[in-house]
Amino acid sequence: MTFQVQIKIMPLKDLLDPQGKAVLGGLHNLGLGGIQDVRVGKNITLQIEADNESAARAIAEEASKKLLANAVMEHFEIEFVK
Amino acid sequence: MTFQVQIKIMPLKDLLDPQGKAVLGGLHNLGLGGIQDVRVGKNITLQIEADNESAARAIAEEASKKLLANAVMEHFEIEFVK
């Protein structure tokens, strides 16, 4: 079976996010003053061929830990897209 | 009121995603052969001060169109985080 998995990777809450701060400055320069904070992360979708959902989740977790996310600075969330 | 808004920005379906293809190659090299396709996009969270949800959504849309997403190559989805 083929599973569509979405992995959200965001900078850890306690860390500064310089990219987010830069985007926030840009938005304020465009006159969008109502925006108070910006955090920028990644959104990765994987199409996984696996026997069942738990096997697909295991593959997605391994991919996140080994390559996609940097555990020192980021946390990730795995979600199945139906 | 303060709203937490999440904007998912992904490359358009019909376009090649070279970054995704590179990640797919990396995952195969790590032995994760069950993964058939990868697409890489952005996930941006905004904290918006606005009178109500529709005003917050208008700000998020303006931010996406003017700065965050490139409409030629990407589509975006706005979601409120409760």
Average pLDDT for A30-57:
96
pLDDT at B56: 96
Residue B59's Cβ-count burial label (10 Å; 0-12, 13-18, 19+) is buried
The pLDDT profile of chain B, 82 residues, written as one tens digit per residue, is: 999 999 999 999 999 999 999 999 999 999 998 999 999 999 999 999 999 999 999 999 999 999 999 999 999 999 999 8
Minimal Cβ distance to A48: which of B35, B50, B62: B35
Average pLDDT on A28-50 reads 96
Domains in chain B: how many in total?
Answer: 1
ipTM of the complex, rounded to two decimals: 0.91
Amino acid sitting at position A41: G
The reported pLDDT for the residue numbered B11 is: 97
Q: Using CA atoms, how far apart are residues A59 and B31, in angstroms rounded to an integer?
A: 10
Are B76 and B41 in contact, with CB atoms under 8 Å apart? no
CATH number at residue B73: 3.30.1280.10
Q: Does the distance separating the beta carbons of B35 and A59 come in below 8 Å?
A: yes
Query: Does residue B69 contact residue B76 with C-beta atoms inside 8 Å?
Result: yes
CA distance A62 to chain B (A): 8
pLDDT tens track for A47-79: 999 999 999 999 999 999 999 999 999 999 999
Judge: B42–A43 Cβ closer than 8 Å, yes or no: yes
Residue A48 CB neighbours (<10 A): 24
CB contact under 8 A, A59 and B8: no
The residue range of the domain holding A73 is 2-81
pTM across the whole model: 0.92
